[in-house]
Structure 1
Amino acid sequence: MTFVPANQGIEKLKPYQPGKPVSELERELGITNIVKLASNENPLGCSDQVKKAVAAELAEIGRYPDGGGFILKDQIQAQFGFGHQQITLGNGSNDLLEIFARAFVSEKDSVVYSQHAFAVYGLVTQAINAEALEVPAKGFAHDLDAMAAAVQANTKLIFIANPNNPTGTWFEEAEFDAFMQKVPAHVIVVLDEAYVEYYPENFNSLKFLAQYPNLIVSRTLSKCYGLAALRVGFALASVEVTDFLNRIRQPFNVNHLAMVAAVAALKDEAFIEKSRAVNKAGMAQLQAGLEQLGLSYVPSRANFILVDIQADPAQTFNDLLKQGVIVRPVGIASHLRVSIGTEAENAKFLAALAEVLALEVQA
């Protein structure tokens, strides 16, 4: 049989590596009492209202979901003020990022994104075999002026994240508005807001959608809403852009239980407020603990913090695993990304980090 090679972009592609699961570490090292601070999950889990809503719908597992996602789109419309024709549902925001690229980018085109940004931007670009224009970061943040200047004649798409993963950096509304005014109207701008719920006072992206028809705002319910296992996200955009996205979206890409859970999660404002409070308290706890250890970090507006451990990230990651603590190397020299956990989880991480780095708490 003659070997048939994959598309050129796929041949060179290295799959996305998710955070290490707890079950995998248990199998490898035979340890328990593991703390996972690697995948930016909500340490509270999900809302009790979500659990009740999903339990009530278990009898429907044998049926296909509503391919149009009516109940979830209805809740998004009620909450955010955008009609069904401006909503695209996704199997998490990763699914949406791929849909955006497939809808608007060919192998003859280029995609702009920042250094130190979400790894999936580069992966979806390479999968299409498009040209990747990675713009050097400004410190650890997006350099929006440089990104606008990097746009070429064949540029079709720009990925930006606010707050950014894995650095936690952010930009303000005035900076974004100035950036959008520089971007040609035919270039699609994807504003990835996976962590926006943690500091909603920081940025209101939705007001820009009417002003900029080439803007897509992408959100997920995996983080603050605590639905990571169910994989559900949504995008808001103009009617014209949304029409193209839904032409290639798989009809059942969001399952019924995920939609039911998402509706309940969006309604439970008290849970979101509690999640924000736990996150802010945990952020303060980690910042104080890191300062006492003499370690610096990148200020964050997400549910994680990028720490300069002043050591080899791979070795430190492995040493922490032996202590029952899972964090995340993100390809940035001497840095590890740490998700905000509960008070006890944060304390365990700080103690383990001090031990593996042989650091003493400073007075």
Structure 2
Amino acid sequence: MSPFNLETCARANILALEPYRCARDDYKDDGTNILLDANENAYGPPLTPGTVSAASNGVGAEIDFLGLHRYPDPHQRDLKQLLCNLRNKHSHTSKSITPDNLFVGVGSDEAIDALLRCFCVPGKDRILVCPPTYGMYSVSAQVNDVGLVKVPLLPAPTFALDVANVLEALSTENNIKMVYLCTPGNPTGTVLAKEDVKPILEHPTWNGILVLDEAYVDFAPDGTSLAEWVAEWPNLVVMQTLSKGFGMAGIRLGAAFAAPPVARLLNSLKAPYNISSPTSALASYVVSEQGLATVEANKAKLVAQRARLLAELPKIQGVGRLRGGTDSNFLLYEMLNAEGKPDNVTALAVYETLAEDKSVVVRFRGKEHGCFGCLRITVGTEEEVTRFLAAIEQALREVNGSKTEAAGDEAKRETAANDVVA
């Protein structure tokens, strides 16, 4: 019999790992659900019937499906140049970024993990995060046996960076190698102020990397992205993705903009052919002039539906305050109990009722720092938003109505018991 013992063979931090979970672990896409939980672009990719066979690489070439027996380009410089063209707005610097500033990977998650493996010594180094924030930073840190320092954002609704405490931690805590900041934040939807980011980059004693995760930046005002700022700061990395604003979550294409020496390190440790040929071709089409026209049209529709949700949700009894910003394709709202107070039990019950009885899947975020009683709602299409608004009104009525009835029944029982005693 083999002496293999998983408990002693596997790394202890992996055995203790709490994996990143999403709503679709519980409520999968069965073709009938409205999925407003994962912040995808509800209008989908900027592709039309026939585009897949005619999607270009930016210069008119078709996707060569017959060439799939060949390994893809390991360097992806043409795609990188298109991504640089997209971000060279000169809103923050007169300098331009080039393909030498870029790492492309399988979603932003590959960049998150690659940075940890690149800069953090397992069992020694740590990263700093500012909750509430994207859960994969801490998951990847645990996978890599890297410690975690938490400096919460300032309270809602601003969810601004607590600059003083971040700087204090970098001055006094040992072995912090990276700071991960999400902007616009997930689940906050708030853009972190550029003037709050700069003091971290200028810290006089901290020798580390500041990582800005701009997954949702394409829903923020023009000029928000700081990607081109990596031309000014050797200790800045800006991550982006085609999953959100570009509606291409299925191809898993992420990018990390960085100073050339940092980008070289990331490109050195990646797998040789980490970006497939179809992914590269589709991504190149999406950021071409033709693809971008459809991206912008779809984005305008989502912004209109975001405005609609902001106008209609406060009118629904049981919907509380907006607890974050409006710079993303989702909104964070409180759910109120029968007494009109934010409540996690109510929020969780509404989340479950929406998914199980109304086939509308959102995301319960009430256990995250500063998000008590909150649901995160992805902006959908016009039809999806119409169905969601009706569903959440019904769900709140059912949840709070059943609680009111239960409380009334309990009061009647107590009265009856008192009468018997009397």
TM-score, reference length from structure 1: 0.91
Q: Secondary structure at the match of 2:331?
A: strand
Match of residue 94, structure 1, among 104, 109, 121: 109
Residue identity in the other structure for 1:347: T
Q: Do the aligned partners of 2:217 and 2:225 also contact (CA within 8 Å) in 1?
A: no
Matched residue, 2:358: 323
Q: Do the aligned partners of 1:66 and 1:252 also contact (CA within 8 Å) in 2?
A: yes
Give the Å deviation of 1:239. 1.2
| 1:303 pairs with 2:304 | no
Distance of aligned partners of 1:254 and 1:67 in 2 relative to their CA distance in 1, 3 Å threshold: same
Matched residue, 1:264: 285
Q: Do the aligned partners of 1:118 and 1:166 also contact (CA within 8 Å) in 2?
A: yes
Distance of aligned partners of 1:56 and 1:248 in 2 relative to their CA distance in 1, 3 Å threshold: closer
Residue identity in the other structure for 1:356: A
Give the Å deviation of 1:62. 3.0
Residue identity in the other structure for 2:168: A
State the distance in 1 between where 2:141 and 2:374 align: 25
Matched residue, 2:33: 34
Residue identity in the other structure for 2:145: N
Report the number of matched residues. 355
Matched residue, 1:129: 145
Give the Å deviation of 1:207. 4.2
Q: Do the aligned partners of 2:200 and 2:210 also contact (CA within 8 Å) in 1?
A: no
Distance of aligned partners of 1:171 and 1:24 in 2 relative to their CA distance in 1, 3 Å threshold: closer
| 1:150 pairs with 2:154 | no
Give the Å deviation of 1:78. 3.7
State the distance in 2 between where 1:351 and 1:184 align: 54
| 1:115 pairs with 2:141 | no
Distance of aligned partners of 1:296 and 1:77 in 2 relative to their CA distance in 1, 3 Å threshold: closer
Q: Secondary structure at the match of 1:233?
A: strand
| Matched ranges for 1:133-282 at <5 A | 133-140=149-156, 141=159, 142-151=161-170, 152-182=173-203, 184=205, 186-201=207-222, 203-267=224-288, 268-282=291-305
- Unpaired segments ≥5 residues, structure 2: 57-61, 89-95, 337-342, 399-422
Matched residue, 1:29: none
TM-score, reference length from structure 2: 0.79
| 1:13 pairs with 2:17 | yes
Q: Do the aligned partners of 1:329 and 1:336 also contact (CA within 8 Å) in 2?
A: yes
State the distance in 2 between where 1:175 and 1:320 align: 38
| 1:314 pairs with 2:348 | yes
Residue identity in the other structure for 1:235: A
Structure with bigger gyration radius: 2
Provide, for residues 158-181 of structure 1, a one-character-per-residue CA deviation record: whole Å limited to 9, x for no partner: 100110011111222222223322
| 1:2 pairs with 2:4 | yes
State the distance in 2 between where 1:64 and 1:184 align: 44
Q: Secondary structure at the match of 2:75?
A: coil
Provide, for residues 300-337 of structure 1, a one-character-per-residue CA deviation record: whole Å limited to 9, x for no partner: 21110111112423322211012010111233331111
- Unpaired segments ≥5 residues, structure 1: 27-31
Residue identity in the other structure for 1:309: M
Give the Å deviation of 1:75. 1.8
State the distance in 2 between where 1:300 and 1:337 align: 12
Matched residue, 1:73: 80
Segment of structure 1 superposing worse, 84-93 or 263-272:
263-272
State the distance in 1 between where 2:325 and 2:294 align: 25
Q: Do the aligned partners of 1:173 and 1:204 also contact (CA within 8 Å) in 2?
A: no
Q: Do the aligned partners of 2:40 and 2:244 also contact (CA within 8 Å) in 1?
A: yes
Give the Å deviation of 1:135. 1.0
Segment of structure 1 superposing worse, 170-179 or 54-63:
54-63
Q: Secondary structure at the match of 2:287?
A: helix
Distance of aligned partners of 1:73 and 1:202 in 2 relative to their CA distance in 1, 3 Å threshold: closer
Residue identity in the other structure for 2:360: V
Provide, for residues 240-287 of structure 1, a one-character-per-residue CA deviation record: whole Å limited to 9, x for no partner: 111111121112221111111111111122123213211211111111
| 1:57 pairs with 2:83 | no
Distance of aligned partners of 1:95 and 1:207 in 2 relative to their CA distance in 1, 3 Å threshold: closer
Q: Do the aligned partners of 1:290 and 1:350 also contact (CA within 8 Å) in 2?
A: yes
Matched residue, 1:103: 118
State the distance in 2 between where 1:39 and 1:58 align: 30
Give the Å deviation of 1:109. 0.7
Q: Do the aligned partners of 2:240 and 2:254 also contact (CA within 8 Å) in 1?
A: yes
Provide, for residues 34-66 of structure 1, a one-character-per-residue CA deviation record: whole Å limited to 9, x for no partner: 211011111110112763317743323333211
Segment of structure 1 superposing worse, 178-187 or 160-169:
178-187
Segment of structure 1 superposing worse, 110-119 or 8-17:
8-17
Q: Secondary structure at the match of 1:250?
A: coil
Q: Do the aligned partners of 2:114 and 2:270 also contact (CA within 8 Å) in 1?
A: yes
State the distance in 2 between where 1:301 and 1:132 align: 27
Matched residue, 2:385: 346
State the distance in 2 between where 1:225 and 1:102 align: 28
Provide, for residues 107-162 of structure 1, a one-character-per-residue CA deviation record: whole Å limited to 9, x for no partner: 20110001110000111111122220011221142323322222223110110011
Segment of structure 1 superposing worse, 198-207 or 331-340:
198-207
Provide, for residues 195-215 of structure 1, a one-character-per-residue CA deviation record: whole Å limited to 9, x for no partner: 111124252413421321010
Percent of matched pairs sharing the same residue:
27
Q: Secondary structure at the match of 2:9?
A: coil
Q: Do the aligned partners of 2:191 and 2:325 also contact (CA within 8 Å) in 1?
A: no
Matched residue, 2:402: none
Q: Do the aligned partners of 1:290 and 1:296 also contact (CA within 8 Å) in 2?
A: no
